[in-house]
């Protein structure tokens, strides 16, 4: 900006900031500015442009002004409190010899007269302009030097896609993404759409699509982008995910080449905004029983999409209330009265002018607890006709004369194959939830290294991070975030490289890690908010949005409790298979017995050892996790078998042991995460990073052993004294790690512009 215009900056910002001035008032103000005799003609031209009532400045422009003002004000010893003009003059005078001012006293008076034309209470305006703590109030206190290289650690976390991650991080610092407050639901949604378009313009929307339609065929890169967006804004994440992941993904994975050629390019550029219309009011988790029908009309070779009841309306459909023009609709296929199960169909819902098409009814879901940048809505179809070609026919098709054809024989297998391909959404949510958790940890841990409270009389108050309760609250969650990072990378890799042979296993993994990660994020953000006290309650410190937006992660893309039962089912199937494969019953009994034998029987010494070397031994940790998981599978299987033998239906029996199933699924997920974390660390060459990662793995293990201590004690795997020793060792480890916590969150690589919480900035 021209230096001559700097004195106007505070007034310019205030004039536009709250839409307090109407057209004529803006014109009057602009005229006053033009009257300033000390301005050059080009300066006046720029000013006139900025004050044009018909062309308000873009939000990005406004943010830039604000940033300039605040950064400049921070450089002043004491920013003036009474007038915007004086603030402007002082900002413009920065860098001049001490005491010198950029304007003559006469010009200053003239400038003050401009401010009068603005007609607002200047002192208040100055306050809200500069005093809103965009900069952290207190410096971070580094209690000890980093024991490892932060960049090297970030490189470890970024190892899957370093360039995509850094590229996305940089894009997200562009001015367009700086706005965080919205006047209305409408503004929030439009901004979120504009952001999504911006990301699409950068080519990020089509990364996972085939190269033939402008994509890069790189699902891993696409997921890395989601992981980064989640650090910034979760409305954007979901809008982006619905458009490119769910809608585009359904075309890519359930459709065939003609669909790809016809729709995917426009989907990737957001020329064709779309929805993923699966969930129905009466059928949230139970997709297989949803009621929308697609009746094939042989005469016209069309499908007739219809909502037969109120329970069958499509519900919470993202991108539908305002922007979607097409929807992938999941419906029961009906050919001449015969039902052929759930299939997916592309149904236009709005025309290019965004007018809702005949037969389609859309209602806005309205305000939600969070994610209000996403336009969720309800959809009803009243005998809407679509051409036969709009059926996504990768797994099944209907011939022109109404024959249902599929390479997959059973309806059940077909359904699960179809649903299974869509598991990418769960991978993305798992990754995103961990990003949200990392944001919360970064804010809370930095705040804990700034904030002091209470302490010995006469001394400086104690830093929050030095309190044992604070360490217990945050350090195990920091370990979880690191552990999950390894677990989720393993899932991503398995997902990206999945084959038909291991697809069920990948689904189990995705269900388990999505649940663990989203529950962990909810808990981390709750603890993080509480750890920041009243500061955590202020919207500008970001917990409000982080908590509210991520709240639904435990529900959508599969309700966690339902998913954990899916995991349990997967594990029981594996166990049964082991049984089928082994020739003799006796063998099974032996395996089962081995699993349920306590560690005590295996190794009576290890149950009692309480020395730190042993307590931190990762082989012991892994053995304990593994043993528990196996023993739980065996125990639940035996309970189920016994209930069924007593004459209970298997459905009833499953409900009867449901809590055990969920506990068993938790045990398995925890085992997988620890296993992958340890494997990752083992494979690294010796380094300071490896060393501290190993400590994080120890804390992850010990805090989970502590959480599950009752089970281990019940089964004789821990003595009472050892259980207490585990708790003490976890405490000691948490204390050890607390001095490095600041650097461990730095390594998450969240830019200050993205984190945006004043109390949590690196500064």
Q: Which residues inside 266-305 make contact with a second copy, applying CB under 8 A?
A: 279, 281-286, 289
What residues contact 394, with CB distance under 8 A and at least 6 apart?
253, 254, 255, 256
Residues 33-62 that bind a second copy (CB under 8 A): none
Tell me if 522 contacts a second copy by CB under 8 A. Answer: yes
Torsion sign across C-alpha atoms 299, 301, 302, 308:
positive
Pick the binder of a second copy from 731, 736, 752, 753 (CB under 8 A): 731
255 vs 558 by CB, closer to a second copy: 558
From 225-233, 253-261, 585-593, 650-658, span contacting a second copy (CB under 8 A): 650-658
Q: Which residue has the tokens 């962990």?
A: 520
Residues 558-577 that bind a second copy (CB under 8 A): 559-562
Q: What are phi and psi of 714, to 5 degrees?
A: -60, -35
Pick the binder of a second copy from 166, 269, 687, 723 (CB under 8 A): 723
Tell me if 454 contacts a second copy by CB under 8 A. Answer: yes
Tell me if 414 contacts a second copy by CB under 8 A. Answer: no
Q: What is the 3-state secondary structure (H, E, C) of 635-652?
A: HHHHHHHHHHHCCCCHHH
Tell me if 544 contacts a second copy by CB under 8 A. Answer: yes
Q: Which DSSP category does 343 fall into?
A: E
Rg, the chain, Cα only: 30
Residues 312-331 that bind a second copy (CB under 8 A): 315-316
From 329-337, 341-349, 438-446, 657-665, span contacting a second copy (CB under 8 A): 657-665
Q: Which DSSP category does 465 fall into?
A: G
Cα separation, 546 vs 525, whole angstroms: 7
Does residue 144 contact residue 203 with C-beta atoms inside 8 Å?
no
Give the burial class of 524: count Cβ atoms within 10 A of its Cβ; 0-12 exposed, 13-18 middle, 19 or more buried.
buried
Stretch (H or E) spanning 112? helix 105-118
Q: Which DSSP category does 212 fall into?
A: G
Tell me the C-alpha to C-alpha distance, in Å, between residue 541 and each of 120, 129, 198, 230: 28, 17, 26, 16
Pick the binder of a second copy from 461, 505, 601, 682 (CB under 8 A): 461
Tell me if 530 contacts a second copy by CB under 8 A. Answer: yes
CB of 651 to a second copy, least distance (A): 4
CB of 663 to a second copy, least distance (A): 10
Q: Which residue has the tokens 């967006």?
A: 229
Pick the binder of a second copy from 82, 170, 309, 453 (CB under 8 A): 453
Tell me the C-alpha to C-alpha distance, in Å, between residue 357 and each of 193, 326, 362, 388: 21, 10, 10, 18
Q: Which DSSP category does 356 fall into?
A: B
From 39-47, 259-267, 625-633, 702-710, span contacting a second copy (CB under 8 A): 702-710
510 vs 718 by CB, closer to a second copy: 718
Task: Output the DSSP codes for 284-311.
Answer: SS-GGG---EEEEETTTTEEEEE--SGG
CB of 706 to a second copy, least distance (A): 8
Bridge partners of 362, per DSSP, are: 379
Pick the binder of a second copy from 44, 216, 262, 368 (CB under 8 A): 368
Distance of CA 698 to the CA centre of its chain: 26
Pick the binder of a second copy from 105, 358, 400, 534 (CB under 8 A): 534
Collapsed DSSP state (helix, strand, coil) of residue 275: strand
393 vs 560 by CB, closer to a second copy: 560
Does residue 399 contact residue 340 with C-beta atoms inside 8 Å?
no
CB of 316 to a second copy, least distance (A): 5
Residues 177-196 that bind a second copy (CB under 8 A): 181
CB of 125 to a second copy, least distance (A): 12
Residues 463-492 that bind a second copy (CB under 8 A): 466-469, 472-473
Residues in the chain: 763
169 vs 472 by CB, closer to a second copy: 472
Residues 189-248 that bind a second copy (CB under 8 A): none
Cα separation, 56 vs 187, whole angstroms: 15
Does residue 492 contact residue 430 with C-beta atoms inside 8 Å?
no
CB of 11 to a second copy, least distance (A): 20
270 vs 475 by CB, closer to a second copy: 475
Does residue 441 contact residue 481 with C-beta atoms inside 8 Å?
yes
From 2-10, 415-423, 704-712, 739-747, span contacting a second copy (CB under 8 A): 704-712
CB of 412 to a second copy, least distance (A): 11
398 vs 761 by CB, closer to a second copy: 761
Pick the binder of a second copy from 7, 248, 370, 487 (CB under 8 A): 370
Cα separation, 689 vs 698, whole angstroms: 14
Pick the binder of a second copy from 189, 388, 446, 529 (CB under 8 A): 529
Instruction: Provide the mask over 109-148, with x wherever binding to a second copy is found by CB under 8 A and - wherever it is not.
Output: ------------------xx--xx----x-----------
CB of 476 to a second copy, least distance (A): 12
Cα separation, 684 vs 328, whole angstroms: 44
Q: How many residues bind a second copy (CB under 8 A)?
A: 84
Q: Which DSSP category does 739 fall into?
A: T
197 vs 735 by CB, closer to a second copy: 735
CB of 564 to a second copy, least distance (A): 8
132 vs 151 by CB, closer to a second copy: 132
From 102-110, 196-204, 538-546, 585-593, span contacting a second copy (CB under 8 A): 538-546
Cα separation, 445 vs 745, whole angstroms: 8
């Amino acid at each position: 900006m021209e230096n001559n215009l700097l004195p106007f900056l505070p007034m310019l910002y205030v004039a536009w900031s709250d839409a307090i001035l109407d057209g004529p008032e803006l014109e009057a103000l602009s005229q006053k500015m033009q009257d300033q005799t000390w301005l050059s003609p080009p300066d006046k031209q720029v000013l006139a442009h900025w004050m044009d009532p018909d062309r308000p400045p873009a939000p990005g422009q406004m943010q830039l002004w604000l940033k300039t003002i605040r950064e400049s004000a921070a450089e002043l010893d004491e920013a003036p409190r009474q007038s915007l003009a004086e603030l402007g003059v002082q900002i413009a005078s920065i860098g001049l010899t001490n005491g010198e001012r950029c304007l003559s006293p006469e010009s200053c008076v003239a400038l003050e007269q401009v401010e009068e034309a603005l007609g607002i209470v200047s002192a208040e305006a100055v306050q809200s302009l500069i005093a809103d703590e965009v900069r952290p109030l207190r410096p971070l206190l580094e209690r000890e030097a980093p024991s490892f290289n932060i960049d090297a650690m970030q490189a470890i976390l970024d190892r899957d896609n370093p360039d995509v991650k850094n590229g996305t991080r940089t894009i997200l610092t562009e001015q367009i993404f700086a706005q965080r407050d919205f006047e209305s639901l409408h503004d929030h949604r439009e901004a979120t759409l504009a952001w999504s378009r911006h990301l699409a313009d950068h080519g990020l929307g089509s990364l996972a699509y085939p190269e033939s339609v402008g994509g890069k065929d790189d699902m891993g890169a696409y997921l890395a982008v989601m992981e980064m967006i989640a650090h910034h804004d979760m409305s954007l994440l979901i809008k982006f995910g619905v458009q490119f992941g769910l809608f585009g993904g359904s075309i890519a994975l359930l459709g065939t080449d003609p669909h790809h050629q016809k729709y995917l390019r426009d989907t990737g550029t957001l020329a064709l905004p779309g929805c993923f219309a699966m969930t129905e009011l009466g059928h949230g988790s139970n997709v297989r029983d949803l009621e929308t029908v697609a009746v094939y009309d042989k005469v016209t070779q069309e499908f007739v999409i219809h909502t037969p009841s109120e329970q069958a309306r499509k519900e919470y459909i993202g991108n539908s209330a305002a922007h979607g023009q097409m929807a992938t609709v999941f419906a029961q296929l009906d050919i001449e009265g015969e039902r052929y199960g759930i299939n997916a169909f592309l149904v236009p819902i709005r025309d290019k002018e965004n007018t809702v098409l005949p037969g389609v009814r859309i209602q806005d879901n309205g305000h939600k607890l969070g994610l209000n940048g996403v336009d969720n809505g309800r959809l009803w179809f009243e005998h809407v006709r679509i051409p036969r070609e709009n059926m996504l026919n990768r797994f099944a098709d209907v011939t022109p004369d109404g024959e249902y054809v599929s390479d997959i024989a059973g309806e059940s297998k077909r359904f699960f194959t179809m649903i299974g391909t869509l598991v990418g959404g769960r991978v993305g949510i798992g990754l995103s939830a961990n990003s949200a958790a990392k944001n919360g940890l970064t804010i809370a841990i930095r705040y804990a290294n700034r904030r002091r409270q209470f302490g010995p009389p006469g001394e400086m108050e104690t830093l929050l991070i030095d309190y044992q309760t604070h360490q217990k609250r945050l350090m195990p969650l920091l370990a979880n975030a690191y552990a999950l990072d390894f677990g989720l990378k393993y899932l991503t890799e398995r997902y990206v490289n999945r084959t038909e042979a291991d697809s069920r296993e990948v689904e189990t993994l995705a269900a388990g890690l999505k649940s663990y990660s989203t529950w962990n994020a909810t808990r981390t953000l709750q603890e993080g908010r509480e750890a920041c006290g009243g500061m955590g309650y202020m919207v500008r410190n970001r917990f409000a949005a982080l908590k509210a937006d991520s709240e639904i992660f435990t529900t959508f893309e599969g309700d966690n409790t339902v998913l954990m039962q899916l995991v349990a089912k997967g594990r029981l199937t594996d166990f049964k298979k082991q049984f089928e494969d082994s020739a003799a019953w006796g063998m099974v009994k032996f395996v089962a017995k081995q699993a349920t034998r306590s560690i005590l029987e295996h190794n009576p010494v290890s149950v009692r050892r309480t020395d730190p070397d042993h307590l931190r031994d990762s082989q012991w940790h892994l053995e304990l996790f593994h043993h528990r998981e196996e023993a739980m599978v065996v125990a639940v299987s035996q309970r189920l078998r016994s209930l069924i033998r007593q004459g209970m239906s298997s459905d009833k029996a499953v409900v009867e042991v449901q809590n055990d199933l969920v506990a068993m699924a938790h045990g398995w997920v925890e085992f997988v995460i620890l296993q992958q974390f340890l494997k990752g660390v083992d494979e690294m060459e010796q380094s300071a990073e490896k060393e501290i990662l190993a400590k994080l793995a120890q804390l992850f293990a010990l805090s989970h052993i502590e959480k599950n201590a009752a089970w281990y004690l019940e089964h004789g795997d821990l003595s009472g004294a050892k259980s207490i020793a585990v708790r003490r060792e976890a405490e000691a480890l948490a204390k050890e790690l607390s001095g490095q916590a600041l650097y461990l969150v730095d390594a998450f690589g969240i830019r200050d512009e993205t984190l945006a919480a004043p109390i949590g900035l690196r500064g």
